[in-house]
Every structure is written in C-alpha cells, then in structure tokens.
Amino acid sequence: MPKFPCLSLCMLVRDEEEWMARCLNSIKDVVDEMIIVDTGSSDRTAEICQSFGAQVFRFSWNGNFADACNFALERATGDWILWLHADEELDENDRDQLRANRDKKEYHAFCLPFITYYGESSVTEKGIQTSHIRLFRNRMGYRFIHPLYERLNIEEVENDAKIGFLPVKIHRYGYLHHVIEKRKEAGSPLDAGIDRIFHPLIQSLIAKRNYIMSLHMLEKLEHIGLSNDWLSSMKGLSFMGIGLLPKAKALLASVPSSSLYYFQSLEALCIIAWVEEKFNEADMYVKQMETLAGHDRKTVTFRLLHQRFTTNHMDDTKNIDIEAVSEVFGKCVELNGKKQLEQLVSFMHKTENTVLQQKVSKLVDEFGYVPINMPCSEKTQENPLLYAAHLLSQQKYPEARKLYKQMINQQPLQDEIRCKLAATMLLELKQLLATKVALYPNLYNLYQAVTGLHSTLEYPSNPSV
C-alpha cells in the first residue's frame, strides 16, 4: 500500500496568544506535524502551541521575514507544507478536501481561497475574497524571498510551475477594526510597520485587477497610520489600472528614492512612459532601476523591453524574466498601448516561448478579447463579424455595439450575435464606470455587478484575419 504524503504546518508567530488556539484547533486533525517559529513572544503563545503538540523553535529576530520563514521550512519533514498565519482559520467544512488532495503529483503548489474580514464584524458577505499560494511541496530550492513582504520563489525555481487552485477556504480575522486598534496601541507588529499587515491584501487586489476595491480599502485605511510612501505607491498603481494616468503619475512620482516602494513605482512609471511614447523619460526610469538593482533579471528585462519599444529588436533574450514580460503585457492591455502590444506579441511569436504564450493567453481570456490593433483589410470589412472584432480590438465599443445591432436586425434569431452584443454593451458600461467610480464611490456596487456579469458571458474573440 503506497505511503500517503505527509503534511507539515509551518507558522511564524509572535505574541499571538489571542489567536493560536482557534487556528491550531482548525488544523490539528489534518496535518502530520506542526512547525512553529517564535520570533520573541512575551505571552503564552509558545505554551499554547505546545499544548497542541506543536514543535516550537525560537528564532532570534533579525528584521528579515524571509529568513524566519526559511528557518521554518528547514525544520519541516512533510512532503507538503501548509503555511498559515495565527489570525487565520481553516474552514471546518473543507478539512477533508485538504486531506484528499495531498497526492496530486502533477502540481508544485496550490492557491487557496481567502476570506478576509474587515470592519466591525466577521460577516462573510462583507469579506474580501482573494487567493494565495499557501500549500506547496517541500522541495529543495523553494525559499521565501524579500525581507519585508516575503513570497515563495516557486516560479523562479520551476521552469514551468504547475500551480493549481484548491477550494479549501481560509478565514482571516486580523483586519477587523478592533484588532487593528489593538495592534496600534501595542506598537508595530514585529517592528515592521503597520502597512505590512495590509500589503498582501492590497497587493492581491491589484494583482487581480480589482482596482476599485483596492482604492476603496485604501480610502478606509488612511486614518490608521499607514506610511505615506506605501499609500502613494498602492494608490498610484490602482489609478494606473483604471486609466487615470495624471493621478497615477503624480502619486508614483511622489515616492522618495529611500522608500521600499520606490522600485515598484519606477516600474509603473516606466510602463506609462512607454505607452505614452516618452522614451527619453522611460530610459531615465530604467537607468534608475539599474542603479538600484544592478543587473538582476527583472532590470535586464526592462532594458531589453525598452530596446524593443524604441528599436523594435532585442540583443539577447536568453535571460529574460518571463514574469516581467507578462506583467508589462498586462499593463499595456489596460493602458491600451496598441503599438507596444503589437511589438510584444511579435516578440512572443519569434521566441516561441510556450510559458510566455500561456501567460499571454490567460491575459487574453481575462480581458475577454484579444487586445491587439488588428490590421483592417478589405476582407475584414466585408465580414461584419471580423470587422466587429477589429473594432473591439481597438476598444471602439460604441461602433462595435452599433454593428452587432445591425446584424441582429438582419438576422434576428442569431443567438451568438445577441450574446456578443450583450457582452460588448457590458464592456462599454464597465469602461465608463471604471473612470467614474473613483470620483463617485456610490457607483461601486454597480461596478461590481457589471464586473460579475462580465465574467459570466462569453466575450467576443478576435479571430485571425
């Protein structure tokens, strides 16, 4: 009988006696071992952990979260690692499913859904739903990186990282109002600043392009003592995502060079400059990135992309950072940088990099149509469906809507065209709301409803011509 894969729980804690019992109670019957790294608790945290049979290891705090997390990984013996925070709880209805999915050999890691509660109470309807990689193989080479906002390096280690989604819900309570107030009174958590608490949540919303929610959250958080640099960076990225570039540039440019968030702001400003074809300005940003980071892969990739956008070729693509190219592609889609998208797609086809093609394909699915400026040939104009796709590729939604209406008048029983018309109208409405909701927050619920409908319809695709 084959051995069932073992599961190790790993946690980083300090003064978490309020949370530990609930967290460990939710997971004790699912995991095979508990590895708890304590960075200097002065309360009963370690005692509570040991009462659940956990192994508690002391770590002399050096200000580096990645080091502390890797200290925990080095002590885990399971085939899989589940990473939790003390203020989190595994959903009691999903425990069996977590057990049952440990033998999926085709995956390197799984994203788990999170419900993060904020405000006054933990009401599910008011929770923010995101997902994060929290279940992963215990493999040599997997390490946490970044001293403050630690993340796992799976995609850097694996050439083709297989990351699945497992519907095992995690509830997180550390963002509730009374918890934040208590933390403020007690001082910054682990000497890292209170913005560390919120960074993963806001960053996740931005990564999932939920910019309206990120702005909504940032507005609510302004009064609790977050750093101005962090607020400016996160707001700038959010305004960039919904196309309010003057606001975005002003906020991003206000982040000082001494800030932890300066590099991220430089990247965003560089992409905006490319789309606006201000290449001297973009070159200045790339040079500043090179001064800060030397010639790491991401900075080298930005230099090569700058070369691509200014001369339409690249000297060397062997060490290019696929994640960075994918990130730039997504931003160019949002900013409607047609010329840059054409250059990136041309580069993608020439390199024949399957990983990059898969990532771009996911972006295409996410946005619902191929956001490339299609050549408009006579053949395209003769075929109304192809011409409508061409109009959509240029984000000319009103023109596409009118064309679909004409087709329905001629062929009233064409369900496919009716679906395309409905989808186009939603795209048009979503685009309009995205520019208004930051100014009129009361439109937020309507924007969310339109976004929900947007995800349920089959959107017009961009056929090759």
Residue 257 pLDDT exceeds 70: yes
Between 12 and 316, name the one with better pLDDT: 12
Q: What is the mean pLDDT of residues 180-187?
A: 68
pLDDT at position 248 is: 93
> Which of 40-44, 58-62, 193-197, 392-396 has the lowest average pLDDT?
193-197
Contacts of 431-438 with C-beta under 8 Å, sequence gap 24+, read 431/395, 431/397, 434/211, 434/212, 434/242, 434/243, 435/242, 435/243, 435/244, 437/212, 437/242, 438/212, 438/215, 438/239, 438/242, 438/244
Q: What is the mean pLDDT of residues 265-278?
A: 94
Q: What is the mean pLDDT of residues 45-60?
A: 96
pLDDT in tens, 282-319: 999 999 999 988 778 888 889 989 998 998 777 776 77
Among residues 302, 228, 207, which one has the least CA distance to residue 263? 302
Most confident of 155-159, 350-354, 371-375, 380-384: 155-159
Q: What is the mean pLDDT of residues 426-443?
A: 73
Largest Cα–Cα distance of the chain, in whole Å? Answer: 76
Between 271 and 364, name the one with better pLDDT: 271
Residue 376 pLDDT exceeds 70: no
How large a percentage of the chain has pLDDT more than 90?
31
Between 387 and 50, name the one with better pLDDT: 50
pLDDT at position 465 is: 29
pLDDT in tens, 99-118: 877 777 788 999 898 888 87
pLDDT at position 278 is: 94
Residue 168 pLDDT exceeds 50: yes
Q: Which residues of 137-147 are buried (b: 16+ CB within 10 A; e: fewer)?
A: bbeeebbbeee
pLDDT in tens, 360-370: 666 655 554 44
pTM above 0.85, yes or no: no
Residue 359 pLDDT exceeds 90: no
Residue 374 binned pLDDT confidence (cut-offs 50, 70, 90): very low
Cross-strand partners of 163: 109
Residues 6+ apart with CB under 8 A from 114: 88, 129, 130, 131, 132, 169, 170, 171, 172
pLDDT at position 433 is: 77
Among residues 405, 404, 458, 392, which one has the least CA distance to residue 431? 392
Q: Which residues of 226-262 are buried (b: 16+ CB within 10 A; e: fewer)?
A: beebbbbbbbbbbbbbbebeebbbebbebbeeebbbb
Q: What is the mean pLDDT of residues 124-149?
A: 81
Q: What is the mean pLDDT of residues 366-382?
A: 44
Q: In whole angstroms, give the CA distance from residue 228 to residue 254.
A: 9
pLDDT at position 42 is: 92
* Domains located in the chain, CATH noted: 7-115+128-166 (3.90.550.10), 261-367 (no CATH), 382-456 (no CATH)
Residue 97 pLDDT exceeds 80: yes
pLDDT at position 463 is: 35
